[in-house]
Amino acid sequence: MTLLHWAVLSPFLLAILIPFLYRYARAVHTGWFVMILPAVLFIYFLTFLPVTSGGSVVEQTVPWVPSLGINFTVYVDGLSLLFALLISGIGALVVLYSIFYLSKKTERLNNFYVYLLMFMGAMFGVVLSDNLIVLYVFWELTSLASALLISYWYHREKSTYGAQKSMLITVFGGFAMLGGFILLYVMTGTFSIRGIIEQVDVVAASPLFLPAMLLVLLGAFTKSAQFPFHIWLPDAMEAPTPVSAYLHSATMVKAGIYLVARLTPVFGGSAEWFWILSGFGIVTLVWGSISAVRQKDLKGILAFSTVSQLGLIMTLLGLGSASLAFGFGEDTMLYSAATLAAIFHLINHATFKGSLFMAAGIVDHETGTRDIRKLGGLMSIMPITFTVSLIGTAAMAGLPPFNGFLSKEMFFTGVLNAMSFEGFNMQTLGLLFPVFAWIASVFTFLYCLIMFFKTFTGDFKPENYDKHVHEAPAGMLISPVVLASLVIIFGLFPNLLAYSVIEPAMASILPNLLAEGETFYVNIYHWHGFNTELFMTLGVVAFGSLLYVNMNKWSAMKVYMKERDPLNGLYDNSLDWLIVGSQGVTRVQMTGLLRDYFAYMLAFMMLLFIYSFMRYDAFAIDLENVAPISWYMWILTGIFIATTVVIPFINKRITAIIVVGVIGFLLALFFVIFRAPDLALTQLLVETVMVVLFLLVFYHLPELRKESFKPAFKVTNAIIAVTVGTVVTLIAFSAHAMRHQNGFEAISQFFIDNSYELAGGLNMVNVILVDFRGLDTLLEVLVLAVAALGVITMIKLKMTGREDV
């Protein structure tokens, strides 16, 4: 494997070592060992900047399942490199923060860092994989690792509830996404993203285009918390704050954003892609911002803020996709401005939201509460945390000179440009985008004011806290200070990233939009004159401030008092309905009666066989090539049938045992007649042992009693029995007829010709069992071994009945 492959897999390899480091290096916080890896990976990925900024890409492949077109192909271009830098850079800062946030004395650090590294590796796999199936494997690993991190404090009911919710929603979307990937393979014959992009015309002309697009978007929307799937994100805030700062602001929730951006060259340009992305994105933006205002918990505000900001980025990607439909030539930058804003805000959001999550964690860690109704007056007591929060909230609110102001202005530019689009009915419906964008920005400004002023201004009341409140230790402040510094640097010098990070990412999302050798024009600056965007910003500040000043007049409204999202009720009721329904199905299926289980299985098999026969017109009877049946075979068959039929009417146990033995010996005789001496010998030995065993233990069995059954019970049994016998007989006749009518060669000839040549054995039966069906036989042996272990465990483990108390 190449160094790039090892870079993706390195977090998993380190995760294997964490339990040993935790056990044998207890004097040192485990986080110090972990932090080295993301820091090294960040430096390593920085070396690719000259490559991607020059318009080149790096692609390296290791075969995995080449027969199915599944290879572990690592692909580094502008888009994947941007995400890799975010994952590794913020990952290193989060690990540093966690060293001081999580105590090595009271926390299970081995579990925490194993889960965190597993997630980090999975995210690298998602953003660097070119193969859709490999991407899907890593995609589901992010859901698993996220659920484990959310439930890290598993003794808390809310933690396990949040983990379950995130798992159910994101894995549901992942399964849908897998279906979309399979449809893309059906259309193009490849799982390679590069290969699919090269066949865009084939995909667009296929009737499977829309189903594939909807399934892929379902996966992206569930992962990136788009309305109405956003409800898992606020409950995920029960995770430790380092997890929230990493997974739920900078990485995992951006996986859906990455998928949309990566597949924009495939689906972009279509009206469906444009409207679904921009429509759901703008609704998520508005809903998240309004919901954030109603929260009383700092992390709750940040959670819904994240939902809102993700909706903003999704809206921009949707609007930017219009450039693939009609954005060539002079209007290219008009249509692609939204994509530029999406990438820039993606970076900005990771910096200011990461710093705010860490600041909220510091407040919780040092005061023991995140409730804004208890907080207040922390400005002078926690001056550094206050400064970090001021920078972060100002950037999120869209105030200059911070980076959030720039990307917010670019967002306004993008939605205003949308009204000028020459298609998709944007001349009329396009007006809705700037209106909703402005409303959401007002509420964004409002919740930023609430979060900041309720926490740091006002009177300090020591009685509200269970701890002695003080500033966080220096180590815990390093990471948020670094991120807050980046907020200022990217705000004052935004073009530091223009052609090193932003433009290559744009080129990855909108390939072939420009002529060869050309690049997108990226020039980000603060002052654009007195334009519409500036007046919209002034209106946001004025109206948001007015709402905050008059907060006491509307904060008593019932809407404001209800923190929980109303869509949670639908989720909870759905789970209840699912439980009730599954219990009903289970009561029907799991009766505890072996007869019922056989009846279900046989009925299903018969229905399947009958449907298959009718669907493919496979019923056929041809007796011309049947060998003559000797008179003694008729006699033996008659005895066999009569013996079988008489068993249900026998009331004496010893008689029943003898009759069952007669059937077994008759079957062995049939094997002799059909020249299968090995099977005959096996049948004779097994039947003899079984009869002897039955006769030895029959004395200890209860008396046979004549049971009375309802007529419906007997009729059902009779129908199933007759149907099975009839269908099996028809299968035998049809198989024989098809063989002669259609000239099918018997599979037995293959074994006759190849048993010795391929397996070196003269006994064909043994060769089939050991070589041609070797894996089958191995699994049968494994089943027997598991059963034996189960028996031994039950014998050795002497339970008293109080183990579960």
The three-state (H, E, C) secondary structure of 304-352, written as one string: HHHHHHHHHHHHHHHHHCCHHHHCCHHHHHHHHHHHHHHHHHHHHHHHH
Alpha-helical (H) ranges within 327-431 are 332-367, 383-397, 403-418, 426-429
Average pLDDT over residues 520-540: 90
620 & 714 share domain: yes
Burial class (CB in 10 A: 0-12, 13-18, 19+), 320: buried
676 & 652 share domain: yes
Alpha-helical (H) ranges within 47-156 are 49-53, 78-101, 109-128, 132-150
Is 441 contained in some domain? yes
The count of other CB atoms within 10 Å of the CB of residue 280 is: 20
Tell me whether the omega of the peptide bond preceding residue 648 falls within 30 degrees of 0, making it cis.
Answer: no
Read off the pLDDT of residues 745-772 as tens digits, 9 standing for 90 and up.
777 788 888 888 888 888 887 888 788 8
Structure tokens given for 620: 């056929």
Most confident of the following: 193-202, 505-514, 583-592, 790-799: 193-202
Is 263 contained in some domain? no
Q: Is the pLDDT reported for residue 734 higher than 80?
A: yes
Burial class (CB in 10 A: 0-12, 13-18, 19+), 219: buried
12 & 83 share domain: yes
Helix/strand/coil percentages in the chain, nearest 5: 75, 0, 25
Residue whose C-alpha is closest to residue 392's, from 491, 519, 267: 491
Least confident of 226-240, 541-555, 725-739: 725-739
Structure tokens given for 639: 């005895």
Label residue 633 by pLDDT band (50, 70, 90): confident
Burial class (CB in 10 A: 0-12, 13-18, 19+), 279: middle
Q: Please report the pLDDT score of residue 292 as a whole number.
A: 94
Structure tokens given for 759: 């397996």
Q: Coil, strand, or helix at residue 131?
A: strand
Label residue 272 by pLDDT band (50, 70, 90): very high
Cβ atoms of 51 and 58 within 8 Å: the answer is yes
Residue for token pair 């990485």: 251
The residues with which 73 forms a beta bridge, in sequence order, are 61
Q: Please report the pLDDT score of residue 592 as a whole number.
A: 83
Is 202 contained in some domain? no
776 & 656 share domain: no
Average pLDDT over residues 446-466: 91
Integer Cα distance of 119 and 225 in angstroms: 18
User: What is the maximum alpha-carbon separation in the chain?
Assistant: 108
Is 231 contained in some domain? no
Q: What is the dihedral of CA 80, 83, 84, 88, to 10 degrees?
A: 180
Is 469 contained in some domain? yes
- Helical axes 383-397 vs 332-367, angle rounded to 10°: 150
685 & 753 share domain: no
Higher pLDDT, 615 or 391: 391
Integer Cα distance of 173 and 214 in angstroms: 11
Q: Residues 752, 755, 758, 760: is their CA dihedral positive or negative? A: negative
CB within 8 Å of 595: residues ≥ 6 apart: 717
Integer Cα distance of 747 and 744 in angstroms: 9
Q: Is the pLDDT reported for residue 246 higher than 70?
A: yes
Domain boundary among 590, 625, 641: 590
Integer Cα distance of 113 and 99 in angstroms: 11
DSSP state of 774: H
Q: Please report the pLDDT score of residue 456 as a whole number.
A: 94
Cβ atoms of 124 and 86 within 8 Å: the answer is no
Q: What angle do CA 558, 562, 566 make, to 5 degrees?
A: 115
The residues with which 75 forms a beta bridge, in sequence order, are 59
Label residue 695 by pLDDT band (50, 70, 90): confident
Is 218 contained in some domain? no
pTM: 0.83
Q: Please report the pLDDT score of residue 105 as a whole number.
A: 85
Read off the pLDDT of residues 185-234 as tens digits, 9 standing for 90 and up.
999 999 999 999 999 999 999 999 999 999 999 999 999 999 999 999 99
Average pLDDT over residues 572-579: 91
Least confident of 276-285, 492-501, 632-641: 632-641
Is 471 contained in some domain? yes
673 & 711 share domain: yes
Label residue 805 by pLDDT band (50, 70, 90): very low
The count of other CB atoms within 10 Å of the CB of residue 31 is: 22
Average pLDDT over residues 785-804: 76
562 & 442 share domain: yes
Q: Is the pLDDT reported for residue 641 higher than 50?
A: yes
Q: Is the pLDDT reported for residue 626 higher than 70?
A: yes
Integer Cα distance of 438 and 449 in angstroms: 17
Cβ atoms of 97 and 245 within 8 Å: the answer is yes
Q: Is the pLDDT reported for residue 801 higher than 60?
A: no
Amino acid at 714: K
Q: Coil, strand, or helix at residue 800?
A: coil
Average pLDDT over residues 242-269: 91
Residue whose C-alpha is closest to residue 339's, from 125, 85, 511: 511
Cβ atoms of 362 and 480 within 8 Å: the answer is yes
Q: What angle do CA 596, 598, 600 make, to 5 degrees?
A: 70
Average pLDDT over residues 540-549: 95
Q: Is the pLDDT reported for residue 362 higher than 60?
A: yes
The helix (run of H) or strand (run of E) holding residue 64 is strand 58-65
Cα separations in angstroms, 636 against 128, 420, 639, 722: 69, 89, 5, 21
Q: Please report the pLDDT score of residue 804 as a whole number.
A: 47
Cβ atoms of 470 and 445 within 8 Å: the answer is no
Is 226 contained in some domain? no
Integer Cα distance of 203 and 206 in angstroms: 5
Q: Please report the pLDDT score of residue 743 as a whole number.
A: 62
Least confident of 361-370, 641-650, 769-778: 769-778
Domain boundary among 525, 558, 590: 590
Average pLDDT over residues 551-579: 85
Q: Please report the pLDDT score of residue 134 as a whole number.
A: 96
Cα separations in angstroms, 221 against 1, 232, 621: 33, 12, 55
417 & 286 share domain: yes
Q: Please report the pLDDT score of residue 566 as a whole number.
A: 87
Q: Is the pLDDT reported for residue 56 higher than 50?
A: yes
Domain boundary among 724, 746, 768: 746
Q: Is the pLDDT reported for residue 699 higher than 70?
A: no
134 & 165 share domain: yes
75 & 158 share domain: yes
Label residue 25 by pLDDT band (50, 70, 90): confident
Q: Please report the pLDDT score of residue 705 as a whole number.
A: 64
Q: Please report the pLDDT score of residue 429 as a whole number.
A: 82
Mean pLDDT score of the chain: 89
The residues with which 192 forms a beta bridge, in sequence order, are 131
Label residue 255 by pLDDT band (50, 70, 90): very high
Q: Please report the pLDDT score of residue 37 as a whole number.
A: 96
The count of other CB atoms within 10 Å of the CB of residue 579 is: 10
Q: Is the pLDDT reported for residue 674 higher than 70?
A: yes
Q: Could you give the number of structural domains in the chain? A: 4
Average pLDDT over residues 295-315: 95
Share of the chain above pLDDT 70, in %: 95
Q: Is the pLDDT reported for residue 3 higher than 60?
A: yes
Average pLDDT over residues 474-491: 96
In terms of residue numbers, what domain contains 765? Answer: 747-805
Residue whose C-alpha is closest to residue 257's, from 77, 126, 443: 126
- Residue 108 phi/psi, 5-degree rounding, is -85, 80
Cβ atoms of 73 and 130 within 8 Å: the answer is yes
Cβ atoms of 158 and 247 within 8 Å: the answer is no
Q: Please report the pLDDT score of residue 802 as a whole number.
A: 54
Read off the pLDDT of residues 405-434 as tens digits, 9 standing for 90 and up.
999 999 999 999 888 887 777 877 888 999
Cβ atoms of 61 and 70 within 8 Å: the answer is no
325 & 474 share domain: yes
Query: Within 13 A of 181's CA, how many CA atoms are on the CB side?
Result: 23
337 & 424 share domain: yes
Sequence length of the chain is 805
